[in-house]
């Protein structure tokens, strides 16, 4: 089965072709980062317009580069939510229209299920069941994955997502958007011992997260430093980035440890944009290794948004006999544990 995957939920147009027998046949990604950089975050209207410009040429490119013609395609999968409605509608409209024109099923895919399954595209994919830490710009969740579509949310952020916290802290520090990679880079020169940021919700039982207090702590630290030093120096910026990153990574690691202790899972998957963070990968590998838990994550380019994860997730749904009618529906919000009911 060959499935064309279309991802347009935010600021990346990702297109891919996945074959259930031979694996990934091709993928392309166009990132709008430069377009949004001047604004310090994604401007939804600009994102939608850019998806409109790119989507058809990218679909053509993937088909050409993979040497596959439209007659070979068995289904078209597209991200139906959660995400920016205007951006989602571009992918959904094009995906459904193409599927209708080609006479094949159209498959709506949950963006976070795409992230969750992204490590399945690697050579050594995790077997189910596993625990998943989904950390992106919009979500921070601990999910019990018992089978395809059998997802239980064990914990989640009560306010900002981890990626959102990185983006906001970076903005305060005068660093570029997206903030995660910018903070990670600045932190490389930082002194670990100068500031200690709090590890939110660690003292409380349970598996939920909260990152908005960390953001306030970051702002107050910047204000104190500017007051005493007269400006935000390069060194202080790196030291704060370092303290911030360590606090987020420690908090995520502690919650994963607690989740593993409370469940029987022997595998941990980390996925979503923040799973590209090197410190997080290293720390989780160390801590989980000590608990006999194996850690899996996607290759770097499939941590952030991409079409390959949507093509893969869509293919699993096709194999399970799912498809949808040709009405165009997207969801800005869509809890992952409501996936079965559609
Ligand atoms: O999964 P993703 O591409 O989009 C959403 O579904 O939200 O995640 C984007 C998020 C951004 O907040 C970005 O700052 C963060 O992932 N991110 C990182 C890193 N690379 C991307 N955060 C920390 N460290 C990184 N290396
Ligand atoms: Zn994403």
pLDDT at 134: 98
Residues with CB under 6 A from ligand 1: 10, 136-138, 163-164, 166-167, 178-181, 184, 272-274, 276-277, 304-305
- Output the pLDDT for position 325: 87
Average pLDDT, integer, range 1-26: 98
pLDDT at 341 over 60: no
Nearest-atom number in ligand 1 for the CA of 305 is 3
Number of alpha helices (DSSP H) and beta strands (DSSP E) in the chain: 10, 10
Query: Which pLDDT band holds residue 338 (cuts at 50, 70, 90)?
Result: confident
Tell me, in angstroms, the distance from the centre of ligand 1 to residue 89's CA.
Answer: 22
Taking CA atoms, 143 is separated from 96, 202, 208, 299, in Å, by 30, 18, 11, 20
Planar angle of CA 180, 253, 155, nearest 5 degrees: 90
**Mean pLDDT, residues 17-33 taken together:** 98
Q: What is the mean pLDDT of the chain?
A: 96
Cβ–Cβ contacts within 10 Å for residue 65, how many?
Answer: 13
| pLDDT tens-place string over residues 169-204 | 999 999 999 999 999 999 999 999 999 999 999 999
Average pLDDT, integer, range 84-101: 98
pLDDT, average across residues 11-37 = 97
Q: Determine the Cα–Cα distance for residues 54 and 118; give it in Å rounded to an integer.
A: 23
Cα dihedral angle (270, 275, 278, 280), rounded to 10 degrees? -60
**pLDDT tens digits for 317-332?**
999 999 888 899 999 9
Per-residue pLDDT at 340 exceeds 80:
no
Band of pLDDT at residue 57, cut at 50, 70 and 90:
very high
Q: Ligand 2 centre and the CA of 83: distance in Å?
A: 9
What's the gap in Å between 136 CA and the centre of ligand 2?
6
For the chain, percent of residues with pLDDT exceeding 90: 95
Q: What is the pLDDT of residue 223?
A: 98
Residue 326: what pLDDT? 87
Model pLDDT, residue 120: 98
**Average pLDDT over every residue of 241-256:** 98
How much of the chain, in percent, has pLDDT values that exceed 70? 99
**Would the pLDDT of 139 be above 60?**
yes
pLDDT of residue 323: 81
What pLDDT, on the 0 to 100 scale, is given for residue 178?
Answer: 94
Phi and psi angles of residue 174, each rounded to the nearest 5 degrees, phi first: 75, 25
Torsion of CA 148, 85, 301, 180, to 10 degrees: -110
For residues 77 and 92, give the distance between their C-alpha atoms in angstroms, rounded to a whole number.
Answer: 9
Q: What is the pLDDT of residue 100?
A: 96
pLDDT at 342: 52
C-alpha 136 – ligand 1 centre gap (Å): 5
255-292 per-position pLDDT tens digit: 999 999 999 899 999 999 999 999 999 999 999 999 99
pLDDT tens-place string over residues 70-83: 999 999 999 999 99
């Amino acid at each position: 089965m060959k499935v064309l995957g279309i991802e347009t939920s935010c600021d990346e147009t990702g297109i891919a072709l996945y074959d259930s027998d031979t694996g990934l046949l091709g993928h392309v990604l166009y990132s709008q980062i430069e377009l949004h950089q001047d604004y310090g975050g994604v401007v939804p209207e600009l994102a939608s317009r850019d998806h409109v410009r790119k989507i058809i040429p990218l679909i053509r490119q993937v088909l050409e580069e993979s040497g596959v013609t439209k007659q070979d395609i068995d289904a078209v999968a597209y991200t139906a939510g959660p995400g920016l409605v205007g951006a989602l509608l571009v992918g959904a409209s094009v995906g459904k229209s193409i599927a209708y024109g080609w006479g094949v099923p159209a498959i709506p895919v949950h963006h976070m299920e795409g992230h969750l399954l992204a490590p399945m595209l690697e050579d050594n994919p995790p077997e189910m069941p596993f625990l998943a830490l989904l950390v992106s710009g919009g979500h921070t969740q601990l999910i019990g994955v018992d089978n395809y579509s059998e997802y239980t949310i064990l914990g989640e952020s009560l306010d900002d997502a981890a990626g959102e916290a990185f983006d906001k802290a970076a903005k305060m520090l005068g660093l570029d958007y997206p903030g995660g990679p910018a903070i990670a880079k600045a932190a490389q020169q930082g002194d670990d011992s100068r500031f200690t940021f709090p590890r939110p919700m660690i003292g409380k039982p349970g598996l939920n997260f909260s990152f908005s207090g960390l953001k306030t702590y970051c702002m107050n630290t910047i204000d104190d430093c500017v007051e005493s030093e007269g400006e935000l120096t390069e060194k202080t910026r790196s030291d704060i980035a370092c303290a911030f990153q360590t606090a987020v990574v420690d908090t995520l690691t502690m919650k994963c440890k607690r989740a593993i202790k409370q469940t029987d899972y022997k595998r941990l998957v980390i996925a979503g944009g923040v799973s590209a963070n090197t410190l997080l990968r290293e720390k989780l590998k160390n801590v989980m290794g000590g608990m006999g838990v194996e850690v899996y994550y996607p290759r770097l380019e499939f941590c952030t948004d991409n079409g390959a994860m949507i093509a893969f997730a869509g293919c699993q749904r096709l194999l399970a006999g799912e498809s949808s009618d040709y009405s165009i529906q997207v969801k800005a919000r869509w809890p992952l544990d409501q996936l079965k009911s559609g």
